[in-house]
Chains A and B, each alone.
Chain A
Amino acid sequence: MMAHGHVRPSPGCPRCRRGHAPWKTARPEAVATVALVGSPNVGKTTLFNALTGQHQHTGNWPGKTVTYHAGFVEGVEDLLLVDLPGLYTLDAWSPEERVTQEQLALYPFEGVVHVVDAAHLARDLYLLAEVLETGLPVLVALNMWDVARREGVDIDVDQMAALLGVPVIPTVARTEEGVQALKAALRRWLAGTRSPGRPPRYPQRVQEAVERMQTLLAPWLAEWPLVRQRWLALKLLEGQLHLLDALFPPEQARGLRARVAALREEYRRRWREDPALVVADARYGWAEGLWRAVATVRRERRFHLTRAIDQVVTHRWLGIPLFFLVMFLVFHLVINLTDPFIAWVEDVFQGPIRHGLLWGLHQLGAPLWLRSLVVDGVLAGVGSMMTFLPGLTLLYLFLAWLEDSGYMARVAFVMDRVMQAVGLHGKAVLPLILGLGCNVPAIYATRTLDRWRDRLVTALVIPFISCSARLPVYLVFGMAFFGPSTVWVVWGLYLMGFLIALLSAAGLQRFLGAEGEAGPFLLELPPYHWPNRRVIGRQVRQQVREFVVRAGTVIVAISVFLWVLMNLPWGVEDPRQSWFGRVSTWLAPALEPLGFGRWEAAGALMSGMVAKEVVVSTMGQIYLGELASTPTRLGPPSAEDWRQDLQVLGPGLWTTLMEAGRNLVGWRPAVFTAAALEADARLAVALREHFTPAGALAFVVFALLYVPCMATLAALYQEFGLRWAALAMGYQVSVAWVSAWVVHQVARVLWG
């Protein structure tokens, strides 16, 4: 056995061209690497967090869109724990499952910590059998020990450890009970000899077939001493042929695939059975034997509370209204509590921080262009990111709470029928509805979906849901052109957004095709429990940090990019002569068929990338000549400025807190606060001069559907990578163009 601290070579990655150990970049000299596996809902991630604390490294698996987490275990030196995606069996259909299976097959882990749910041990034993089959040393964490006790499940831990031949440690990840014992066990385990345990035995005919498969593979694996050959042979016999693609270059994999398939076929013909099912039966036999030997169930009433709650929450008539009520409350709290803070954060950035920076730059004698770049480019980007933070933090908190309590699974259960119609998972309902408030948190809310594919499709259609920032655009144009029928135009736009989102989802599912058949729809409805403060707090902190680091970078980059466009060539006075104006002029002909092929419209839409409501202010600046970019604003702040800043920081904060408090108690229909926005009469006149009514209608449709804002793009980039974010942008612009064109044509015919 490997001694603690021994460095193992990486398994010949140059040949397969798929990095096997992305976390190695976190700390190349990492010594003992241990995998953490377990099925969903067993508290694996909670245990991971409890073991590693803040020392985590997060990223994507190379070539996959699956997120991995790796971290050093606090108090156990040089132990890198890799949290592999959760699964019920070691079959590999979804990208998440493939990652887990391939890692276990190929990467030389020092061992595996398998987290099982003590309260539902019977079900987790199948996976345990598969984990033992890998031949890796195993340590079992019997998690949810408290729940098992409460529910009257007694497990003889010593007996279980003796039968399995591996250490078994009871834990309660939520309260961190047993975590110290687990760390101690890990320390002992790593220092001593680690037993691979006793996996199930298969019938002789299967054993022979596995050996033949191993013989077939042996020459190919000569350079791969660390690959678990016996296990690989078994998995291939079970038909998991994709493992070949992960291991060998394409030509070799193809050649081997045929021979492996032939061997499998030969077995099936000879014994008239699928080896996969024989092996599965052996595992179940083993699992049942083990269960009988170690567990006793005292007869007690179980889950009565969960059933009682469910009678209301999933009730035939009450279930759906209750879901909308919960959504309404979340909206109310998030929007109304954070609304005052958003304004305050903006004030702080525009006031004290901006002035402080300008003062500093002035002291350093920085040129005007640099001052402008810093305050109007970088600081504007950082500021716009910060305005999202209060709302996002609160929303993350609610989502984590709803998810951890078990309610989210009920939402999926109640609403699944609706989502089924467009090929989405029931859990997709929540992000879609959150999109009405703001698309950014909605995209992050797709994390509650288990499968990457569902997450992607949901996130790609969310931008069509009309967020609250788009309302000012509708209202300004509505007031200018449609008078009292504005209400209908606005409703029509909201409805159109939803319809296009749902249709796109159905279309995308069909278009993405084969990868989607990741197995039957399964939804576990875990027993309710009161969420643990520490678990929620940790999760929210982690999510906020990720947003700031990853999305924040993109937002600042786009903000700087727009600054460059608007301010170059330096000193430009007429916006039309700036690069921004030139790009707009160049883009305008593309909008001609839509009825608004003017550079002003193109420019307003482009600046709307910052945030949709900016479309209105840009139009004001362009049409009414208010484009204020005078160098005086870049001078050192005056005494009056500082006085105002003190006002913002002191009394301003107090007013904000009071207002948030008032909003919490009183009801204010926040989505429509923008209605209070006074429609600028002068702007309305200017718009009527430059747009036809049909063009105006087409313009708002375009504004509804094209890229929501740079923060949404950043969120898509953070969650799905550059390729999907770029594709999403292209798709949104195309849909917007086609829809606006259709609307323009129809409106022209109707209105003559």
Chain B
Amino acid sequence: MLRRSSSTSSPSVVPLDQLAPGSWAEVVRVQGPLRWRRRLYALGFRPGTRVYVEQRAPLGDPIQYWVQDTWLALRRQTARQIWVRPVAPRRTPPENGTPLSEEV
């Protein structure tokens, strides 16, 4: 019974708090208690959505993200529960619109 979820063992999947500001990523899965997951889901951190890392707060925590058309700040300890796959910025905005890629 040593089977591990293929998504977490893949080297390209990292916790969200590890990403440098200015990078894009796609959410792979969210860990933690069910209630946490549902709250994060509701705000857009769910498998398949794209997240942009804007900046860290002056004291290093929390970190500001752009997800589902809004700026949201998460503490590191929360961001650590969100596993993502880094992706190159998309040129054309999907349904949610990612105009940041043009601005950055």
The answer to whether A416 has its CB under 8 Å from any CB of chain B is: yes
**A91:B61 contact, CB within 8 angstroms:** no
Given A89-B39, A274-B34, answer yes or no on A521-B58 (Cβ-Cβ < 8 Å): no
Q: In the complex, which of the residues A239, A302, A414 contacts B57, with contact meaning CB atoms closer than 8 Å? A: A414
A293-333: which have CB < 8 Å to B? 295, 297, 299-304, 306-307, 314-317, 319-320
**A122:B68 contact, CB within 8 angstroms:** yes
Size of B's binding interface in residues, CB under 8 A: 38
Given A122-B69, A276-B34, A525-B72, answer yes or no on A418-B39 (Cβ-Cβ < 8 Å): no
**B75:A88 contact, CB within 8 angstroms:** no
B72-104: which have CB < 8 Å to A? 72-75, 78, 81, 93, 95-97, 99, 102-103
**B61:A420 contact, CB within 8 angstroms:** yes
Query: B17-57: contact bitstring with A at CB < 8 Å (1 yes, 0 no)?
Result: 00000000000000010111111111110100000000101
Q: Cα distance A478–B27 when bound, in Å? A: 61
Nearest-CB residue, chain A, relative to B68: A123
**A280:B68 contact, CB within 8 angstroms:** no
The answer to whether B60 has its CB under 8 Å from any CB of chain A is: yes
The answer to whether A269 has its CB under 8 Å from any CB of chain B is: no
**B95:A297 contact, CB within 8 angstroms:** yes
Q: Cα distance A525–B97 when bound, in Å? A: 18
Q: In the complex, which of the residues B38, B58, B72, B97 contacts A280, with contact meaning CB atoms closer than 8 Å? A: B38
The answer to whether A413 has its CB under 8 Å from any CB of chain B is: yes
Q: Cα distance A126–B44 when bound, in Å? A: 10
The answer to whether A524 has its CB under 8 Å from any CB of chain B is: yes
Q: Which residues of chain B are within 8 angstroms of A420 by Cβ–Cβ distance?
A: 61, 75
Which of A49-57, A284-292, A676-684, A685-693 lines the interface with chain B? Answer: A284-292
Given A314-B57, A522-B43, answer yes or no on A239-B34 (Cβ-Cβ < 8 Å): yes
Q: In the complex, which of the residues B39, B69, B96 contacts A91, with contact meaning CB atoms closer than 8 Å? A: B39
**A413:B95 contact, CB within 8 angstroms:** no
Q: Which residues of chain B are within 8 angstroms of A88 by Cβ–Cβ distance?
A: 39, 42-43
In the assembled complex, the CB of A306 is this many whole angstroms from the nearest CB of chain B, namely 8
Q: Which residues of chain A are within 8 angstroms of B71 by Cβ–Cβ distance?
A: 303, 306, 524-527
Q: In the complex, which of the residues A277, A314, A520, A523 contacts B40, with contact meaning CB atoms closer than 8 Å? A: A520
The answer to whether B64 has its CB under 8 Å from any CB of chain A is: yes
**A314:B64 contact, CB within 8 angstroms:** yes
Q: Cα distance A304–B62 when bound, in Å? A: 22
Q: In the complex, which of the residues A300, A315, A519 contacts B39, with contact meaning CB atoms closer than 8 Å? A: A519
**A301:B57 contact, CB within 8 angstroms:** no
**B102:A301 contact, CB within 8 angstroms:** yes
Q: Cα distance A420–B74 when bound, in Å? A: 12
**B44:A123 contact, CB within 8 angstroms:** yes
Q: Cα distance A514–B81 when bound, in Å? A: 21
The answer to whether B59 has its CB under 8 Å from any CB of chain A is: yes
Nearest-CB residue, chain B, relative to A417: B59
**A416:B69 contact, CB within 8 angstroms:** no
The answer to whether A529 has its CB under 8 Å from any CB of chain B is: no
Q: Which residues of chain A are within 8 angstroms of B61 by Cβ–Cβ distance?
A: 416-417, 420
Q: Which residues of chain A are within 8 angstroms of B72 by Cβ–Cβ distance?
A: 522-525
Given A304-B103, A420-B75, answer yes or no on A413-B57 (Cβ-Cβ < 8 Å): yes
The answer to whether B6 has its CB under 8 Å from any CB of chain A is: no
Q: Which residues of chain A are within 8 angstroms of B42 by Cβ–Cβ distance?
A: 88-89, 123, 126-127
The answer to whether B70 has its CB under 8 Å from any CB of chain A is: yes
The answer to whether A642 has its CB under 8 Å from any CB of chain B is: no
Q: Which residues of chain A are within 8 angstroms of B68 by Cβ–Cβ distance?
A: 120, 122-123
In the assembled complex, the CB of B49 is this many whole angstroms from the nearest CB of chain A, namely 10
The answer to whether A93 has its CB under 8 Å from any CB of chain B is: yes
Q: Which residues of chain A are within 8 angstroms of B99 by Cβ–Cβ distance?
A: 299-303
**A520:B62 contact, CB within 8 angstroms:** no
Nearest-CB residue, chain B, relative to A92: B35
Given A88-B42, A123-B44, A414-B58, answer yes or no on A520-B36 (Cβ-Cβ < 8 Å): yes
Q: Which residues of chain A are within 8 angstroms of B103 by Cβ–Cβ distance?
A: 301, 304, 307
**B36:A89 contact, CB within 8 angstroms:** no
Query: A367-399: contact bitstring with B at CB < 8 Å (1 yes, 0 no)?
Result: 000000000000000000000000000000000
Q: Cα distance A526–B44 when bound, in Å? A: 15
Query: A121-160: contact bitstring with B at CB < 8 Å (1 yes, 0 no)?
Result: 0110011000000000000000000000000010000000
Nearest-CB residue, chain A, relative to B99: A302
**A122:B38 contact, CB within 8 angstroms:** no
**B34:A524 contact, CB within 8 angstroms:** no
Q: Which residues of chain B are within 8 angstroms of A316 by Cβ–Cβ distance?
A: 58
Nearest-CB residue, chain B, relative to A93: B35
A409-449: which have CB < 8 Å to B? 413-418, 420, 426
Q: Which residues of chain A are within 8 angstroms of B41 by Cβ–Cβ distance?
A: 280, 284
In the assembled complex, the CB of A453 is this many whole angstroms from the nearest CB of chain B, namely 15
What 8 additional pairs, Cβ within 8 angstroms, besides A89-B39, A306-B71, A319-B57? A91-B35, A127-B42, A299-B97, A303-B71, A413-B62, A416-B57, A416-B61, A526-B71
Q: Top 4 nearest A-B pairs by Cβ distance?
A: A417-B59, A525-B71, A523-B73, A520-B78
